[in-house]
Amino acid sequence: MISNTPSHRACPPRRAGACLRPRALALLLLALLPGVPAVAATLDAFVSVLPLATFVERVGGERVSVHSLVQPGHSPHTYEPTPRQITALANADLYFRVGMPFEDAWMKRIAAANPDMPIVDLRDGLRLRPQAAHRHADAHEHEHAQDDGHDQAPEHDGEAMDAHVWTSPRLVRQMLMTIREQLSALDPAGAEAYAANQAAFDAELAALDAELTRKLAGLERRGFLVYHPAWGYFADAYSLVQIPIEYQGKEPGARRLTALIEQAQASGARVILVQPQFDQRAAQQVAKAIDGRVEPVDPLATDYAGALHRLADILVGAYGDTDGAAGQAETR
């Protein structure tokens, strides 16, 4: 469980009135006056990465204006908020984080820009996993064992935890409850709308999860190669194993590349997943050695369901019913 530090502040649902920021409180009072029309956007919320913006928008609807710090094409590992974004944060009502690397470096400054703004960590209450790791060929590199998904802190015995929690629809469904509670705490007048929006989106995620479970159940191989290990929670949800090329933000050395190629050849791997925010040269080198191919899939895409469907279709096309996968890909 994440500790309740100054960088993690949330409004207790039962004490919502005490947490209302002046703008939200004024809008609430206006909404209670007879003859005053409802206000469309009562809250101004920031998130760290684009998928979270999708989730908050779906729960918040027209009552919430949502902004993502990390913009399309940028890496959340090295991102630096712009002066304009810091200025906008000074007037925001709420910030949702998931512990991306840039947040660790910027959280004190984000909090200082708006000391009264609740900062809500959407990892709270989730079953976290260590950042993907496995045995390395280089003698100076260490082996890190993956856990079985039990509750963990963002760092466990000095080991960084995987922040890509949104790649599992099952975890997103839990995150939606936190989002709804926090929006309702700041905007009690919108609680009914937030609950309805959450329920509708939750049903969509349940259907997405069921479809992915069915689609991935018959894969002949359960391991898949990735350049950057962003798909660990997706892999855990569907009994898969991601095999990363990059480790802790570092390019693999010659011995590491040799070991990866041997591992890929032994496992029959034919595709390597990459995301557009990272250098793909090492992935291309491995793909050429195994006579495979590189496939781009973006875990930071705003089309959340589309990205997960694409990943599943790639895996099914490589390791499952190729005719069925081709047909599914043509219809998307």
Which DSSP string corresponds to 271-286? EEEE-TTS--HHHHHH
Alpha helices in 187-321 (DSSP H): 191-216, 232-237, 254-267, 281-289, 304-319
* Alpha-carbon span 188 to 325, nearest angstrom: 46
Residue type for position 6: P
In a domain, 104, yes or no: yes
Residue 172: strand, helix, or coil: helix
Same domain (yes/no): 176, 261: no
- Both tokens of 159, joined, read 């080991």
pLDDT digits (tens, 9 = 90+) for 43-101: 999 999 999 999 999 999 999 999 999 988 888 888 999 999 999 999 999 999 999 98
Secondary structure E strands in 137-177: 155-156, 159-160
Quickly count: other Cβ atoms within 10 Å of residue 5's Cβ: 11
Average pLDDT over residues 246-274: 79
* Domain end position, chosen among 181, 205, 229: 205
Same domain (yes/no): 96, 52: yes
Residue 209: strand, helix, or coil: helix
Same domain (yes/no): 301, 177: no
Count of the separate structural domains present in the chain = 2
- Both tokens of 185, joined, read 């705490």
- Which of 25-29, 67-71, 114-118, 149-153 is predicted with the least confidence, judged by mean pLDDT? 149-153
Residue type for position 115: P
In a domain, 277, yes or no: yes
Quickly count: other Cβ atoms within 10 Å of residue 26's Cβ: 13
Please tell me the predicted confidence (pLDDT) of residue 145: 32
In a domain, 229, yes or no: yes
In a domain, 317, yes or no: yes
Same domain (yes/no): 50, 198: yes
In a domain, 162, yes or no: no
Nearest to 56 by CA among 47, 48, 107: 47
Is 251 in contact with 201 (CB distance < 8 Å)? no
Same domain (yes/no): 175, 278: no
Please tell me the predicted confidence (pLDDT) of residue 257: 80
Percent of the chain past pLDDT 70, that is, above it, reads: 75
Please tell me the predicted confidence (pLDDT) of residue 280: 74
Please give the distance of CA 200 from its chain centroid, rounded to a whole number: 20
Provide the β-strand partners of residue 244.
Answer: 226
Tell me which DSSP letter residue 131 carries: P
Same domain (yes/no): 240, 269: yes
Same domain (yes/no): 201, 258: no
Question: What is the extent of the structural domain holding 77?
Answer: 13-123+167-205
* Domain end position, chosen among 180, 205, 230: 205
* Alpha-carbon span 125 to 200, nearest angstrom: 22
In a domain, 302, yes or no: yes
- Which of 16-20, 162-166, 209-213 is predicted with the least confidence, judged by mean pLDDT? 16-20
Please tell me the predicted confidence (pLDDT) of residue 260: 80
Residue 298: CATH number of its domain: 3.40.50.1980
Same domain (yes/no): 199, 253: no
In a domain, 2, yes or no: no
* Domain end position, chosen among 157, 178, 205: 205
Looking at the chain, how many residues does it have? 332
Strand order in 271-274's β-sheet? 241-244, 223-226, 271-274, 293-296
Single pTM value for the model: 0.78
Same domain (yes/no): 290, 200: no
Is 147 in contact with 3 (CB distance < 8 Å)? no
Same domain (yes/no): 194, 225: no
pLDDT digits (tens, 9 = 90+) for 237-254: 999 988 888 766 677 778
Nearest to 320 by CA among 246, 240, 221: 221
In a domain, 4, yes or no: no
Please tell me the predicted confidence (pLDDT) of residue 253: 77
- Both tokens of 52, joined, read 């979270």
Same domain (yes/no): 233, 294: yes
Please tell me the predicted confidence (pLDDT) of residue 288: 85
State the DSSP H helix or E strand holding residue 95, giving kind and residue range, or none if neither: strand 94-97
Same domain (yes/no): 175, 297: no
